[in-house]
Amino acid sequence: MRASLASSIAVACATALALPVILVAPATATARPAANALPPAQDELPGSTQSLPLPPLGASVRSFGDPGAVRERGLGRRDVRPFSLVGVVWDDPAAELHGTVQVRTRATADGVWSPWQDVETHNEEHGADPESAEGATGTLRGSTAPLWVGDSDGVEIRVRAEEGTREGLREGAAGDTPEGAAADRAGTAPLPAGLRVELVDPGEDPAPPPAPGTRAMAPPAALTAAEAAADSANSGPAPYGSAAIPASAGDEAVAAPVHAAAAEPARPAAGQAQAAKKPYIGPRPRIITRKGWGADERIREKGFVYTKTIKAAFVHHSATGNNYTCGQAPSVLRGIYRYHVKSSGWRDFGYNFAVDKCGNIYEGRAGGVAKPVLGAHTLGFNTNSMGIAVLGTFSSTTPPAAVVTAVARLTAWKLGLHGIDPKGTQTLVSGGGNLYKKGRKVRFHTIAGHRDGFATECPGVRLYGKLGAARASSAKYQGRR
């Protein structure tokens, strides 16, 4: 998700609604002690976040001898509490990190240190629209993309400023601070203030669902108020406490989760397209609920916010890397969720849906899979759109066929609910915060890549190249010719 200039497509402003949710007091969780003194976890909810400041790294990091311009911050190798996902945040959400972030981690299982890994630095193209209630909160931070590293208990990190002139860098990104002015004189983009590394432990997997044929849980006895509210938003397609929303009738042949990344793409069952009737709505695919992947409903803000309709779908990659198994995907989601809320300051998980590399589809932001939930996936574009994040990084890795199939099936159903043709185009209105002035009308593919509205590599060139096939398949799932 590299971005050089912020550009944007956006979406028409619409009335947002909120439904109340009662928050439950956090439960106490214990952390495994380490051999040396370790920093405290950020909170005591299931899972945890260690937030560590990044000091300057030695005298050699000064830019051309100027003591005011720190060019490198980080941490040497150190023991930490167990974690599986890492990212870097800073104070000002409008500031950009012009430079590189690299980490290496020590595996808990065998004590082996990984090679240096790059963390995607440009994440500012995600987030809530500037003038939305979520975008106006004082809790937001700038952040990199999160990187999945697996079970680890040691970390080393370095953040290096980009050298060169400041020509072309976003106005206001530096010279208004002493360090920024020093960096300007030295020809180096300054590092944002308040840099911290966030080490996220996603917590334990949820308990397995009841065996088939057992009685469904009743919300008053088995669910917290927050869980009941999140589940009730899906009460049409699934009973309370469901780990997954089943595929709609007639789609069972392609509804089961795929367990091999190299699986052949699923195709509409014979006669399925002919059976579709106007308005063109594709069969609902199987969707793993927030309860199914273990979302802790207590950490998000209460209530749900909706936009007016869904006119377009923006496809992203999470940039968390591809070193996860599909069995670990729920843990990856819990890590991203905690990073979005506890580290970046968002109200909830940013994307409306997620897809793992085996083609499993997951509910993202709470509020109901069939409803037009307002997300925080594409800065300035969130109104009247939905965001789908494919877990992984697809700049040089080709997404499996199962991913393309899942995107096609999900959009055929969700866009169909709003009468939208996946092969068509839609006019969206910029919400600002990007290269398009607020209110400017821009026309885009109904199923668009993030890069269509922003100067970013997201969703990666290899995934972006598959969107044409996804549009065609999505239209067929809707029964269109």
In order of their start, the domains of the chain are 48-201 (no CATH), 219-477 (3.40.80.10)
Residue 72 banded pLDDT, cuts 50, 70, 90: very high
Q: Is the per-residue pLDDT at 62 higher than 90?
A: no
DSSP H stretches of helix in 74-155: none
**Each residue's pLDDT tens digit, 127-183:** 776 667 887 777 899 999 999 999 999 999 999 998 754 444 443 334 444 444 444
Task: Return the pLDDT at 327.
Answer: 96
Retrieve residue 346's tokens: 């968002």
Q: Is the per-residue pLDDT at 259 higher than 80?
A: no
Cβ proximity of 231 and 291 under 8 Å: yes
In terms of Cα–Cα distance, which of 39, 77, 37 is closest to 57?
77
Instruction: Report the C-alpha gap between 367 and 373 in whole angstroms.
Output: 6
Instruction: Report the C-alpha gap between 43 and 26 in whole angstroms.
Output: 9
Residue 263 banded pLDDT, cuts 50, 70, 90: very low
Q: Is the per-residue pLDDT at 17 higher than 90?
A: no
* Predicted TM-score (pTM) of this structure: 0.80
Cβ proximity of 481 and 268 under 8 Å: no
Q: How many DSSP H helices and E strands does the chain contain?
A: 9, 18
Identify the DSSP state of 73. Answer: E
Instruction: Report the C-alpha gap between 293 and 114 in whole angstroms.
Output: 27
Per-position b or e across 423-439, b if 16+ CB within 10 A of its CB: beebebbbbbbbebebe
Instruction: Report the C-alpha gap between 96 and 196 in whole angstroms.
Output: 14
Residues comprising the chain, all counted: 481
Cβ proximity of 425 and 446 under 8 Å: yes
